[in-house]
Amino acid sequence: MGGCKRQASADTSRLDGAPFIALKDVPLLSYDDTEPARLTWTLAYGQQWALIGPTSAGKSLLARVIAGLRRLPGGEIRYHFLEDPSAGATPVDLAQVRRAIAYVVFDNRARRNTDFHQSRWHASLEAQSPTVDKYLSSDSLEQRNPYKVAPHRSDVSAGFPACRHRVVSHLALTHLLNRHLHHLSDGEGRRVEIARALLRRPSLLILDDPFTGLDGHFRRQLHTLIGGLMQQGMHLLFVASDPAELPGGITHVLAIEQNRVVAQGPRSQITHRFPPAKTGPATTAPKADPAEADCDAPTIVELRHVNVVHNGVEVLRNVDWTVRRGEKWALIGPNGAGKSTLLSLVLGDHPQAYANYVELFGRRRGSGDSIWEIKRRIGWVAPELHRYTPLTATVAEVVGSGFFDTLGLYRRPTDAQRSEAESWLRWLGLLSNTQRAFRRLSAGEQRLALVARALVKTPELLILDEPCQGLDPVHRARVIATLERLTEATPTAMIYVTHKPEEFPNTITHLLALHQGQVVRRVALSRALEPQV
């Protein structure tokens, strides 16, 4: 990553051990109303820290305070790396803090500047959604007005072309430069956001669960990239729910639970207290077992020779796929394989469904059925849905909207529906949050609420795109157990997408693998999924 390092005002190697950022008596914010503990903590030059803790611990809130994106709730933060030694401990301007610290987060607070997800496939959005090339340009990073003459910021412009070339190459974004943001898959969008943060050449990079949504190949590549950045002297604060995902170069750990600091210090003294989550036993590739397929069961989804093209790029090519009642499918493939596009056809959102043979619940698209007739029979969780769920709605309203397939609750649920919603909230550990605003939940708790929203009507088809994204091991296990219980007890069909094989429920019966828009594998499973997904 040479050529992407911010120009330092001094030789920072001589400062190892000196304070870089120091917090004194800063209250730890929480997503509930508990009395916060106060944090005194120093990130020193030469140290690389991880901030770990379970879902709803308050990690992201603390990270946003440090990045200058949330009001300091009390105490003091000193940004020593920004201070002028000759001026003493003078206050640092928050605008300067925000320029020097890049905070990369992927929850629904970081929404793309595009319209509602259901319309994202329509060409009319392209005028509103920039290309990746433009989004990663120096003008975009500097937020320059094309009609206003202003000097380029030296911290962004110096050596920018070389820096951009290396970042784009390392994150394998070259082939995406002409794509519009609203056409990117969730994993592709994450890589673009990480690239944008790196192009700012921050003094401190805060990555909040950056591996979520990335396939194994790009997780390994990002590990390598992060390691290279740390070796070159960039300071990192890595935020994670799962300690097993910490990069190798992390030297220190700050652990918080239930609004309290439970440990801080060198990594070697901390991480042994947080053993990795248990995963299923490693197995070899599953054997095809055609006898397990029930060819007499009613068809839920049928695609015949489906082809989808966006701006001359083949996204899906000659895809055939049949999902029958009671089948539980794992849909796998690397980022950009076409999984999101395939799901959009099944959900009834994609306009090119009408140019292909797409049959849902026994009726071909275009034969008079509406999107809402289709959605009444489908429960759905996806990163897109998370981004567009109204932040001001209460948890009860978010879950209740699942009965009506709306974003926001515009009809009053019946007593029976409210009781059903409360049952799912109780099972997922959210019942005490029923009347709280969705925005006051942690990202992990928000994902649990959306899982409840998908399950409330016991749909004929469940489409779960990374449903455990942002969850700690305990909550992840709870969601998986819930899905296993539901799919064992009902004939609900399921399509489940994740890049982590340990997140697949044991009830998976079939596998469909995509690569570059084509089906490369389709089997009925006689035993557990292999770990290489």
Mean pLDDT of 405-423: 89
* Higher-scoring residue by pLDDT: 308, 143: 308
* Inter-residue contact 504 to 529 (CB < 8 Å): yes
From the list 66, 70, 63, 59, the residue with the least C-alpha distance to 81 is 66
Q: Dump pLDDT digits (tens) for 442-501.
A: 877 888 899 999 999 889 999 999 999 878 888 888 889 888 988 888 899 999 999 988
Q: Dump pLDDT digits (tens) for 193-238.
A: 999 999 998 999 999 988 888 888 888 888 888 888 898 889 999 9
Helix, coil or strand: residue 126: helix
Q: Dump pLDDT digits (tens) for 31-62.
A: 666 677 899 999 999 999 999 998 888 898 89
Look at strands 19-27 and 38-44 and give their pairing. antiparallel
What is the distance between the alpha carbons of residues 99 and 101, in angstroms, rounded to a whole number? 6
pLDDT at position 405: 86
% the chain with pLDDT above 90: 45
* Higher-scoring residue by pLDDT: 359, 295: 359
Helix, coil or strand: residue 361: coil
User: Which DSSP helix (H) or strand (E) runs through 424?
Assistant: helix 415-427
Kindly report the number of other CB atoms within 10 A of residue 7's CB atom. Answer: 9
Confidence of residue 159 (pLDDT cuts 50, 70, 90): confident
Confidence of residue 532 (pLDDT cuts 50, 70, 90): very low
Domain extents in the chain: 14-110+128-273, 298-376+461-469+493-527, 378-458
Confidence of residue 151 (pLDDT cuts 50, 70, 90): very low
| pLDDT reading at 530 higher than 70 | no
Q: What is the CA radius of gyration of the chain?
A: 24
Say if 14-110+128-273 and 298-376+461-469+493-527 have the same CATH topology: yes
The domain made up of 14-110+128-273 has a fold known as Rossmann fold (3.40.50)
* Higher-scoring residue by pLDDT: 386, 321: 321
Asked if the 298-376+461-469+493-527 domain carries CATH number 3.40.50.2300, the reply is no
pLDDT at position 32: 63
